[in-house]
């Protein structure tokens, strides 16, 4: 994970936002003058990070996901698009 100091991040914010969005690689912004360090990351990655613990609490989802992965690994599963699944 790339690290950058606050002043550099402030001066290059637009470029950093584009880079993080495109490359999906968070950037640590090191605080200065009493500021705490922060992480700049894509919103999609942030949403996934928040959703992950929620999914792990759903044991039936975990079982279903593991079953699906096992079926795909053994070439017995059928890959479907999201549209097919939601029908």
Is pTM, for the whole model, over 0.95?
A: no
* Sequential DSSP letters for 2-66: EEEEHHHHHHTHHHHHHHHHHH---EEEE--TTPPPEEE--HHHHHHHHHHHHHHH-HHHHHHHH
| Low-confidence stretches of the chain (pLDDT beneath 70) | none
Q: pLDDT value at position 82? A: 77
């Amino acid at each position: 994970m790339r690290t950058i100091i606050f002043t550099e991040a402030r001066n290059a914010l637009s470029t950093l936002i584009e880079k993080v969005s495109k490359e999906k690689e968070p950037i640590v912004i090191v605080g200065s003058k009493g500021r705490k360090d922060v992480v700049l990351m894509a919103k999609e990655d942030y949403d996934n990070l928040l959703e992950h613990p929620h999914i792990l609490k759903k044991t039936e989802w975990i079982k279903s996901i593991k079953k699906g992965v096992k079926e795909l690994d053994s070439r017995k599963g059928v890959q479907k698009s999201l549209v097919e699944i939601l029908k």
